[in-house]
A and B are shown apart, each in its own frame.
Chain A
């Protein structure tokens, strides 16, 4: 069982909608991540938060807006998405960024469909 919880599991939204994906972890991890995964492709890094501060933005379009309210929570705000943004969005966490062991733990993901 994953200790990274994501909601909702499935989301269908129109191109003019505003929605949010939520992620929570209670493992005391100080690094949290958003990945995007298309079918039959590897996860692609979008954002990294380290100690609640955005440390990496992989040139993600501004229609994706991350937020880290505290060390346990990570949100991804969605606005004016395109159909090609439909994918599995994975939240993950790790003990820290750049410290030895690089194990990250994924949530079950949020399946997003943009219509």
Chain B
């Protein structure tokens, strides 16, 4: 079967760093993406990793290890507006983009 596992909730303090992990099991793999979704809004694209290593985009970075079927999203200098749900997603061998169940990030002042 296909599955993506990520923590359901993470809590961090404003200004700190937080890491959201994602492990996947899919039939075929064409890259790992991360999406952010605020309450009442639509998912917005954050980052994409097709190859092993770290991709950095401003305060957000994403990492992929294909041999471990593992990736993470790193958020630095957390701001209150980063409070949202974060989804990892993979495109599998059937060209379907499958989402993890999402991680709810709570940020404390």
Chain A: residues with CB nearer than 8 A to chain B? 2, 33, 40-45, 48, 50, 55-56, 58, 88, 90, 97-98, 100-109
Of B13-21, B76-84, B88-96, the one contacting chain A is: B88-96
Q: How far is the CA of A90 from the CA of B50 in the complex (A)?
A: 25
Whether A56 pairs with B41 at a CB distance below 8 angstroms is no
Asked whether A103 and B45 contact (CB < 8 A) given A42-B87, A42-B102, the answer is: yes
Whether B43 pairs with A43 at a CB distance below 8 angstroms is yes
Whether A100 pairs with B87 at a CB distance below 8 angstroms is no
Chain B: residues with CB nearer than 8 A to chain A? 30-31, 33, 35, 41-45, 48, 50, 87, 89-91, 94-102
Q: How far is the CA of A45 from the CA of B95 in the complex (A)?
A: 11
Q: How far is the CA of A101 from the CA of B32 in the complex (A)?
A: 9
Whether B101 pairs with A104 at a CB distance below 8 angstroms is no
Asked whether A42 and B99 contact (CB < 8 A) given A100-B31, A106-B44, A109-B42, the answer is: yes
Q: A41-B102, A106-B42 are in contact. List 7 more A-B contacts (CB 8 A).
A: A40-B102, A45-B98, A48-B95, A50-B95, A55-B95, A102-B91, A103-B45
Whether B48 pairs with A101 at a CB distance below 8 angstroms is yes
Whether B42 pairs with A100 at a CB distance below 8 angstroms is no
Closest residue of B by beta carbon distance from A97 = B95
